[in-house]
Amino acid sequence: MSEQLSQSSNEQDVTARGTFRPEPGAAPWGRQVLAQASMEARLLLRNGEQLLIAVVIPVVVLVGGVLGAERVGLTFDQPVADVLTPGVLALAVMSTSFTSLAIATGFERRYGVIKWLGASPLPRSGLLAGKVLALLVVEVLQVLVVSAVGLALGWRPEPGAVGLLGALLAAVLGTAAFASLALAMAGSLRAEATLAGANLVYLLLMAGGAVVLPASAYGGVGDVVAWLPSGALGEALRAGLLHGTIDAASLLVLAAWTLVGTVVTARTFTWE
């Protein structure tokens, strides 16, 4: 009789523990990353300034470039839309993974958001993974929008399997390179300085970084700007989507910039 009472008491304790006294604890790492990425993506898409940089400017550059190429004397061996669309896709990747990320992270540090997240169960690896995943989500939307506009303007890509692989590698390495550089800037400068610096670098690279136009269009300095992350990304995407090849040299340049940005970020990034 006493054994039955003891067993019944133990069963009630188990039931009570599971029903009325749940044991608190952090969610699994993957769930934390998805939640962080969802929040980051929503913040990026809700911010009018970031949306302007991420979508509106690339679309305006593409439409203006294709429709006005003849008026400004731009001539290429291939159709204008075929040359400019991969470059504008590279510009879209740069705008999100560098400019938007740098500005957002800079103000997150200023208002203590990064410090608050650092005290949460989300580890640093989860925070970075969430930011990168959010960037990829936004970039997929950018690719869809820019590609639709490019197709409407006459873009007819025929990259093949090799070209698609080269373009994918370029997009991934380009995102990693620019994201590491963005975090290096945002983690060491004040928010206002990051805002000004990120926008200035964006405009300079868009105009003279061989991201929209091929490096050959810059004459004697073309070989120099091809070593910039913008030039390497633009050349790699053009090689994949325009010529159906993999530009290994440009991919190595992006990998090198990723390594440099990662090392600088690890040494200089501060929570506030």
Report the alpha-carbon distance of residue 46 to residue 54 in Å, rounded: 12
- In the chain, the amino acid numbered 140 is V
Query: For 7-33, what is the mean pLDDT?
Result: 58
Q: What is the pLDDT of residue 5?
A: 43
Q: Residue 123: its pLDDT value, please?
A: 66
Closest CA to 182 of 239, 236, 123, 102: 102
- Predicted local distance difference test score (pLDDT) of residue 137: 85
Highest mean pLDDT among 25-34, 168-177, 183-192: 168-177
For the entire predicted model, the pTM comes to 0.82
The band of 234, judged by pLDDT with boundaries at 50, 70 and 90, is very high
Question: Where does the chain have alpha helices with state H?
Answer: 2-19, 29-46, 48-51, 57-68, 80-94, 101-110, 113-118, 124-152, 160-186, 191-208, 222-225, 229-242, 248-268
Alpha-carbon separation of residue 185 from 105, 136, 194, 259 (angstroms): 9, 20, 6, 15
